[in-house]
């Protein structure tokens, strides 16, 4: 229904002048060379204020669709604070150095998504449950070794530092430390959930 209204509104608001310029006229307001974003904002505001109940119902349906899509990949992922995490047996078997880890996440095609990356140290800490041990992880994490997992956050040791060091989290007790980028540790990729209500 909203899509229909959007097409109707486009047909109403655009007027071509004799000189070939596109003029937007809307409630006494007119502007030449209006941008697509401005048009979208005007249309959205009109629909939101004129049809609030329909918009509310439509957004509810989109949220349901999104949740259904997330649940459809719950066997290989989990969601924590607007982030989708890889959660497969590989997270307990594959050990990589930093360069290998970055390449692995960049090339990962999981849950029909290809925008995976290495997590930050702060993001990795969000998976820790300090009330548990071996592993010290939150309930939704299924595939986890009680061991060390890389983050992509570098530990700076001064200007004379020759080799790069990165933070990792040890999920046996939830402790943290840093290590040389060439050392191999367990890995877990992550991605941001889509902002679109009908996608994940």
3-class secondary structure, 85: strand
- Which ranges of the chain would DSSP assign to H, the alpha helix? 2-13, 36-50, 52-71, 98-106, 121-125
Q: Kindly list the distances between the CA atom of residue 125 and the CA atoms of 93, 119, 177, in Å, as whole numbers in the listed order.
A: 20, 10, 12
Same domain, residue pair 55 and 125: no
Q: Looking at the predicted structure, is the pLDDT value of residue 44 above 90?
A: no
Domain that holds residue 60: 2-71
In a domain, 199, yes or no: no
Torsion sign across C-alpha atoms 70, 1, 54, 42: positive
In a domain, 13, yes or no: yes
How far is residue 50's CA from residue 109's CA, in Å, rounded to a whole number? 42
Q: Looking at the predicted structure, is the pLDDT value of residue 15 above 90?
A: no
pLDDT tens across 50-60, in order? 888 887 888 88
In a domain, 168, yes or no: yes
Closest Cα partner for 174 from 117, 122, 131, 123?
131
Same domain, residue pair 42 and 20: yes
Q: How far is CA 146 from the centre of its chain?
A: 26
Same domain, residue pair 132 and 180: yes
Residue where one domain finishes, among candidates 71, 100, 131? 71
Same domain, residue pair 31 and 100: no
77 backbone dihedrals φ, ψ, rounded to 5°: -145, 170
How far is residue 171's CA from residue 137's CA, in Å, rounded to a whole number? 7
- Count up the domains in the chain and report the number: 2
Same domain, residue pair 66 and 113: no
Q: Which range among 48-52, 88-92, 156-160 shows the weakest confidence by mean pLDDT? A: 156-160
Residue where one domain finishes, among candidates 16, 44, 71? 71
Confidence of residue 94 (pLDDT cuts 50, 70, 90): very high
The mean pLDDT of the chain is 85
Q: Which range among 84-93, 99-108, 149-158 shows the weakest confidence by mean pLDDT? A: 149-158
């Amino acid at each position: 229904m909203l899509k229909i209204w959007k097409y109707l509104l486009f047909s109403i608001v655009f007027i071509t002048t004799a000189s070939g310029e596109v003029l937007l006229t809307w409630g006494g307001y007119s502007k030449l060379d209006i941008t697509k974003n401005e048009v979208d904002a005007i249309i959205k505001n009109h629909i939101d204020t004129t049809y609030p109940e329909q918009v509310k119902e439509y957004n509810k349906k989109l949220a349901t669709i999104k949740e259904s899509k997330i649940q459809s990949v719950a066997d290989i992922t989990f969601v924590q604070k607007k982030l989708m995490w890889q959660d497969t047996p590989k997270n307990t078997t594959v050990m990589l150095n930093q360069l290998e880890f970055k390449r692995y996440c960049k090339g990962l095609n999981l849950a029909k998504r290809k925008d995976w990356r290495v997590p930050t140290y702060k993001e990795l800490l969000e998976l820790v449950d300090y009330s548990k041990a071996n592993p010290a992880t939150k309930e939704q994490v299924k595939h986890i070794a009680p061991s060390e997992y890389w983050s992509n956050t570098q530990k700076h040791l001064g200007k004379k530092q020759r080799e790069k060091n990165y933070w990792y989290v040890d999920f046996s007790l939830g402790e943290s430390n840093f290590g040389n980028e060439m050392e191999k540790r367990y890995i877990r990729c992550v991605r941001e959930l889509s902002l679109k209500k009908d996608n994940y």
